[in-house]
Amino acid sequence: MRRITPNNTRTTCKQCSIVCRCLGRNLSAADIEENLGISGCARVLHKQEHLFDMHQPFHSLYIIKSGAIKTFSTTHTGEQQVLGFHQPGEILGLDAVNSRYATTAVALTTTGVCALNKDEVTRAMRRSSAFLEQIMEHYRQELFQEKRMLTVLARKDADQRVATFLLSQIRGCDFFNHSQAELTLPMSRSDIGNYLGLAPETISRVLRRFQEAQLIVVQRNRVNKINSAGLYSMAGESVWLDECSCKQRQCAS
């Protein structure tokens, strides 16, 4: 088990290339730093390094700048339940309960994060309704994704679950900026299966079926030539493209 190493570097929102995808949709970088008194602390995690652990005292929110992070909970018998795979622009730590982290967060690949001190964030939310709304929007999105996953697990078969999972992984703005889009899945088939309530062998079989149906092309942990229309039809995700268009507009604004 690898834990985070002390490689912190103070950074500013003005230097960040993804500010539009985290706190900067309704606020400028100058507002965040100068008016609200928030500055981030950049960290780099290596693969399998822990960002925080379940029940550890809550001290910071973390914005993912690059890479990917898996969150999971652990039962009293030591079993892990994967709860999410997180991409650049997402905020981790919003689900802290009683001043302790509710999950464990582990890097799936080399990952950059920006740590925001919880006291600075709390003061900023009191000073600025726009900042408070931005934090709440992230929290609402997190709840929406959890609700969607409960629906997936309760009502959808294996093909629909995997299709929904692939769509969730390609929802970021960067994906749509490439004519030859390629998706990297840094998580293992076992982790995907744990998340979707399926056996790893089932995940592999479904991906093979999708490739035979020309929905995707799979090369180890890379997925390309993605037929997004076919995938969202398979998943029953009729609003998926509208959500992605909305995210594109937010990043462009």
Q: Is the pLDDT of residue 190 over 60?
A: yes
Is 156-252 CATH 1.10.486.10?
Answer: no
Rounded Cα distance between 123 and 128, Å, is 9
| Closest by Cα among 121, 80, 87 to 103 | 80
pLDDT digits over 123-144, tens only?
A: 888 888 888 888 898 888 888 8
Structure-token pair, residue 53: 């652990």
- Return the percentage of the chain with pLDDT > 90, whole number: 46
Q: Are 98 and 60 in contact (CB under 8 A)?
A: no
Domain ranges of the chain: 2-128, 156-252
Q: Are 125 and 135 in contact (CB under 8 A)?
A: yes
Rounded Cα distance between 251 and 246, Å, is 9
Cα four-point dihedral sign 114, 246, 71, 142: positive
What CATH code is assigned to 2-128? 2.60.120.10
Q: Is the pLDDT of residue 226 over 60?
A: yes
Cα four-point dihedral sign 153, 64, 171, 144: positive
pLDDT digits over 73-103, tens only?
A: 999 999 999 999 999 889 999 999 889 999 9
Q: Are strands 217-219 and 222-224 parallel, antiparallel or unpaired?
A: antiparallel
Query: Quick one: average pLDDT of 221-249?
Result: 70
- Return the percentage of the chain with pLDDT > 70, whole number: 74
